[in-house]
Structure 1
């Protein structure tokens, strides 16, 4: 984007990190790939669904257009967490997805990770979380990406403040992004931008990632609304070897 200042693009680094849709628009162009991280819960749900063989179609809005889109794509539609039923057992809840029948194709609306994934154009998009950070990093390394010549952009999705169109930096997404950076660095991928280096240091300095995510604002929000099981799924560190890559509009395993 022409209105993004050059100093913000982390140009000299192979592994770059930023926040939200604006960060994806700043770092995406010119990157070899964009890795979206939305731990609670879009990319965690993608990992669970892809593990089960489902192709996941990201969609930014949960409104009437989502149903129309799902019908046009011959896909099932995930509903709000509290709206699941025997007819529509799929939602953004990774725990609910795990217990529901696995459809061939599923539209998964989300205003954060899904919206970012759908907005990125022209480069591969991957969905990473705490369940598959190492697998995603390994796949990136196999492509020869993450260098100054072929940089990657890691985007921590963040949340929205209730009732406001303002992004809330979410510590779980920072840690999910940091887990990918740490795994990449262990494979010798880089150089890391200062932002990515700071994330790596924070991740590697935390003794109990699961406890931190459970106790953070987003974890407490889900628990207060009766969805604490989603946090438990999200903190299954490195439980998945699937690498969800957006192919023809749907996330599928590329590993």
Structure 2
């Protein structure tokens, strides 16, 4: 495990302050606003530490309320909504400076057998033929300190509706990337779920701009408003997974993006949804 990945795992290892109360540390960064994937992943870790062994998260839903401040830790307060035989529900409130900055609700389930079906993975180029996203950001002047903060992630951009992907009349705004944690993680399933949650916020909102190439990230005010993940099947975050993204709608200064997550063998392991602010600069 490389140094950057070690720092990411440590970042997601919360300090317990009291029963159902945790504190999350901050990374070294020059950025002004806390990266949303970090808050979502830390909240997931907080909630997971309050459920009995044998329960595994299958969905999380969240709202970003206020920009996070990198200068102080984040406090995570977990509320136990329900503990049933098959399912458990938690709600997490993240606070800074005495104010709520983020809400997350999660559902956990004990493993059980059931009906099975899944989407087929689209035909795409392998990760080795993708472009290094961090290098692209540097070349386009859109880095803003993210390459250092995302140093634990290997992200290979395959293209979008604006650049590189064939036109799709059914989906005018599409984007595809391969992602993995750059370094071998442990076999702890929560380590993989948390680092995946961290990475799931990397590029999803950008898919909403794929239909508007004249409005790049530097010309648009972007901010995550909500973020939802459904976990379908176990997988390793340190092995390549395809993030197949599309945006069905943009209106009112907001864009909605959906993403299907496939492992390299074509297994659908998660589905992600996010709505965010995409306000053209005035």
Please, what TM-score do these two structures have when normalized by structure 1?
Answer: 0.28
Please, what TM-score do these two structures have when normalized by structure 2?
Answer: 0.26
